[in-house]
Amino acid sequence: MSVVPPSDVVLPSRDDPAVEGASELIGGPVGRHALLGTSWWTPIRVMLLLVVLASALGVALDQPCRATGWGDGTTQYTHACYSDIVHLYWGRGIAEGLVPYLDDPSATGDEVVEYPVLTGAAMWVTGLLVPDGGDATSRGIRYFDVNALAIALLAAVTVWATARTAGRRPWDAAMVAVAPGLVLTATINWDLYAVALTSLAMVAWARRHPVAAGMLLGLATAAKFYPALLLGPLLVLSLRTGRWRELGQAVLGAVVLWCAANVPIMVSNFDGWARFYRLSRERGGDYGSPWLVLSGLGVDLPVARVNVWGPVVFLSLCIGIGLLGLMARRRPRFAQLAFLVLVAFVLTNKVYSPQYVLWLIPLAVLARPRWRDFLLWQAAEVVYFLSVWWYIHGFTEPDTALPARMYWVAVTAHLVATAVYGALVVRDILRPEHDPVRANGADDPSGGVFDGAEDRFVLGGAPGVVGEPEPVATPPAS
């Protein structure tokens, strides 16, 4: 994938109805003959500045908690500035210099790290950067600051990668840079390691480097489980196009890198390595999940039942997405199918922590880059973010907390908003004229070898050649 000439870049003020309307406040859309990309402020540099400012705003919102080193159990919920980072610095032996999974935490009364190994490695390495000395509060704050800086860099990588994957639409990555979900949740946990690696894998695939894409997906899966799900859409699109060689290279790269990260820990301490997977199996319907809402409404859902119904519903949705990919009149884009699979996962998972929105944001932007729809979805995520902290606050201050039924309403709003965004992507697949990316003449900028490829297998239809459509004068205002 070569660098897109400035004259070919799609301008949001001329492409997106919401941005076009907002641009009237500053004189209207950019002119067709404006000298774009000729100054130092290229789209990428503008968006990197935006994400730096967004990261700074996120840290500023954490200041009520930072002032006390997250030692005030009330402030972190009433001011919505909770973070796992400092709590786990002390609670998992990182402050004592213990190596996750390998050292015995029982000597200090700490628990084994409950995350995949690459996340545990990030926790440990950033702990090595904290100078010794000082009281517990100041050490915890320094640990948070080191991690906040690393997370800001990862956010910048994610924005850069999204812009590169978008092809002629680099400005779409501005939605990632200023996403409310990114501002509010980036420093809750270490999820952006997996998000950044997944975004880089998307770039590598788009640039037709399947081995590198697979290796990056393998590393991302060593940080969080969800990146492995992207192999499903690649399988569907490979079946439709017959491009099996590239799929095999990506899968091999993913397996090799995942094994390289995991096998040494598995051999050294299998029980410690497996804690993440045991916890995932043993927990019941937890925060943010439909299972928690159903349980609150009186539906009997023991863990064993959720362990059956959750995967059954998820796999059923995946089968439906696969059939959609094989039966659609025009082959879906990779980012569209990847986003739909991830939506199916978060809608059926046993827990939805607030920072999980970070998983969805880059793929949502690539799947359907429309500011109006994106911001409406993000508004529901902000409501959920605020509600979960006020609900948890109720366990210590019942009289001032969010009632359980109101929390269930917020969870339902998050679930519905996410499902609606997914439904819009399905509509774009079934009616490609509504797809903002294809309305401008592209086929599949994130598709790599699938971009413009010939269809060899279409379920219920005749294979054909997918040509690039003629650009429309005015994209549908959908």
Query: Do the Cβ atoms of 99 and 262 come closer than 8 Å?
Result: no
Residue of 442, 437, 436 lying closest to 467 (CA atoms): 442
- Give this prediction's pTM: 0.91
The tokens for 218 are 């393998």
- Spatial distance between the Cα atoms of 78 and 258, rounded to a whole number of angstroms: 39
pLDDT top residue among 431 and 35: 431
- Please provide the DSSP assignment of 121-164 as one string: HHHHHHHHTSPS-S-HHHHHHHHHHHHHHHHHHHHHHHHHHHHH
Least reliable range by pLDDT among 122-126, 199-203, 401-405: 401-405
CA neighbours within 13 Å on the CB side: how many for 258? 20
> Does pLDDT of 238 surpass 90?
yes
pLDDT recorded at residue 460? 82
CB-based contacts of 118-124 (< 8 A; 24+ apart in sequence): 118/193, 118/194, 118/219, 118/222, 118/223, 118/261, 119/190, 119/193, 119/194, 119/223, 119/224, 122/150, 122/190, 122/193, 122/223, 123/88, 123/89, 123/92, 123/94, 123/190, 124/94, 124/99, 124/100
Helices and strands (H and E) in the chain: how many: 22, 0
- Spatial distance between the Cα atoms of 442 and 168, rounded to a whole number of angstroms: 8
Residue of 183, 89, 220, 167 lying closest to 447 (CA atoms): 167
pLDDT tens digits, one per residue of 376-424 = 999 999 999 999 999 999 887 877 788 999 999 999 999 999 999 999 9
Residue of 237, 156, 146, 252 lying closest to 200 (CA atoms): 156
Q: Which amino acid is at 256?
A: V
pLDDT recorded at residue 6? 54
- Please provide the DSSP assignment of 325-359 as one string: HHHSSSPPPHHHHHHHHHHHHHHHSS---GGGHHH
Sign of CA dihedral 173, 365, 176, 249: negative
Residue 178 neighbours by CB under 8 Å, 6+ apart:
50, 51, 54
Confidence of residue 300 (pLDDT cuts 50, 70, 90): confident
- Spatial distance between the Cα atoms of 182 and 260, rounded to a whole number of angstroms: 30
Query: Do the Cβ atoms of 447 and 333 come closer than 8 Å?
Result: yes
Residue of 456, 406, 115 lying closest to 274 (CA atoms): 115
pLDDT recorded at residue 352? 95
pLDDT recorded at residue 475? 42
Confidence of residue 134 (pLDDT cuts 50, 70, 90): confident
- Spatial distance between the Cα atoms of 172 and 436, rounded to a whole number of angstroms: 11
Mean pLDDT, to the nearest integer, of 71-96? 93
pLDDT recorded at residue 15? 67
pLDDT recorded at residue 211? 98
Neighbours of 12 (CB within 10 A): 22
pLDDT recorded at residue 23? 54
Mean model confidence pLDDT for the chain: 90
- Integer angstrom CA distances of residue 262 from 117, 120, 280, 366: 6, 11, 17, 30
SS3 state of residue 16: coil
pLDDT tens digits, one per residue of 306-355 = 999 999 999 999 999 999 999 999 999 999 999 999 999 999 999 999 99
> Does pLDDT of 61 surpass 90?
yes
- Integer angstrom CA distances of residue 118 from 130, 313, 359: 19, 29, 16
Residue of 127, 393, 339, 73 lying closest to 226 (CA atoms): 339
Most trustworthy range by pLDDT among 12-26, 195-209, 285-299: 195-209
Residue of 220, 257, 254, 221 lying closest to 235 (CA atoms): 254
pLDDT recorded at residue 470? 40
pLDDT tens digits, one per residue of 458-467 = 988 766 545 4
> Does pLDDT of 473 surpass 70?
no
Confidence of residue 9 (pLDDT cuts 50, 70, 90): confident
Residue 144 neighbours by CB under 8 Å, 6+ apart:
62, 66, 70, 83, 85, 86, 89, 187
Mean pLDDT, to the nearest integer, of 77-82? 94
pLDDT tens digits, one per residue of 213-230 = 999 999 999 999 999 999
pLDDT recorded at residue 463? 62
